[in-house]
């Protein structure tokens, strides 16, 4: 089973005037995320609430979960409603918040200051420590402490 990066609330909105669609997993909460799976020889889409989406591994940056409700934080951020658009793809900051996705690689430069706190909160870091293009990846060596980096910073176990 694989799922595309889920859309946010807009993906599972109920028809105008209708009752909100319920999560197809728990059947309790309003659905907020749509996922795709292949099962029974068919492509099927499911609507999940943010809680189930996170638990089942389909959450994204902007759904409530271990990282909190970051979308609300974004909307309230200073400058969240200005008219700045990315020169490469034309995305506004609101477009990124709404979709949970950047429009192009340049968006990260255009909206760097506003994205950085959320990226830090999400990953527990904003410092890439992995592969650098043009250099080969270091060999995997087993052993050594388990390094965990998440909300709250780095822990060794």
Partner 1 sequence: MKKWYQKEGAESEVALSACVRLARNLRGIPFPAGLDDAGKRKVGDKIKDAVFDENSAVSHIFRYVDLESLRDGEAVALAERRLVKAGFLAGRNGRGLLVSEDESACVMINGDDHFLLQAQTPGFSLEEAYAEADRLDTILDKSLHFAFDPELGYLTCSPALLGTGMVASVDLHLPALADSGEAARIAANLLPLGMLLRGVGNPAGRPHGSIFRLSNRMTLGLSEREAVTNLKRIAGQIIAQERAARNRLIQGIAVQDTAGRSLGILKTARLLGFGEFLDLISVVRFGMAAGFLPKTGYGTIGDLLMRVQPANLNLEAGRRLTEDEEKAIRADVVREAFAGRKDGGAGNEGNG
Q: What is the C-alpha to C-alpha distance for residues 63 and 71, in angstroms, rounded to an integer?
A: 7
156 counts as binding partner 1 under rule CB under 8 A? no
State the virtual CA torsion across 48, 105, 121, 130 in degrees, nearest 10: 110
The partner residues of 148 in beta bridges, in order of sequence, read 155
Q: What is the DSSP letter of 122?
A: H
- Which of the ranges 8-16, 77-85, 149-157 carries the binding residues for partner 1, by CB under 8 A? 149-157
Residue with tokens 């793809």: 89
Q: How far is the CB of 91 from partner 1 (least distance, A)?
A: 7
64 counts as binding partner 1 under rule CB under 8 A? no
84 counts as binding partner 1 under rule CB under 8 A? no
Q: Are 130 and 149 in contact (CB under 8 A)?
A: no
Q: Which is nearer to partner 1, 9 or 17 (CB)?
A: 9
Q: Which is nearer to partner 1, 17 or 40 (CB)?
A: 40
Q: Which is nearer to partner 1, 27 or 83 (CB)?
A: 27
- Which of the ranges 12-20, 54-62, 71-79 carries the binding residues for partner 1, by CB under 8 A? 54-62
1 counts as binding partner 1 under rule CB under 8 A? yes
Q: How far is the CB of 54 from partner 1 (least distance, A)?
A: 8
Q: What are the Cα distances from residue 115, in Å, to 14, 85, 111?
A: 29, 14, 6
Largest CA distance in the chain: 57
- Which of the ranges 8-16, 73-81, 120-128 carries the binding residues for partner 1, by CB under 8 A? 120-128
Q: What is the C-alpha to C-alpha distance for residues 28 and 140, in angstroms, rounded to an integer?
A: 44
91 counts as binding partner 1 under rule CB under 8 A? yes
Q: How far is the CB of 83 from partner 1 (least distance, A)?
A: 18
For residue 116, which phi and psi values (nearest 5 degrees)?
A: -55, -50
């Amino acid at each position: 089973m694989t799922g595309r990066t889920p859309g946010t609330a807009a993906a599972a909105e109920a028809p105008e005037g209708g009752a909100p669609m319920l999560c197809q997993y728990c059947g309790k909460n309003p659905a907020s995320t749509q996922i795709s799976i292949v099962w029974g020889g068919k492509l099927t889409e499911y609507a999940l609430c943010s809680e189930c989406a996170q638990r089942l591994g389909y959450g994204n940056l902007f759904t409530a979960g271990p990282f909190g409700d970051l979308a609300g934080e974004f909307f309230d951020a200073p400058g969240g409603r200005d008219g700045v658009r990315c020169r490469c793809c034309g995305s506004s900051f609101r477009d990124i918040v709404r979709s949970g996705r950047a429009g192009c690689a340049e968006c990260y430069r255009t909206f760097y200051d506003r994205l950085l706190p959320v990226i830090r909160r999400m990953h527990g870091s904003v410092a890439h420590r992995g592969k650098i293009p043009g250099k080969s990846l270091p060999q995997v060596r087993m052993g050594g402490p388990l390094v965990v980096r998440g909300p709250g910073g780095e822990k060794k176990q």
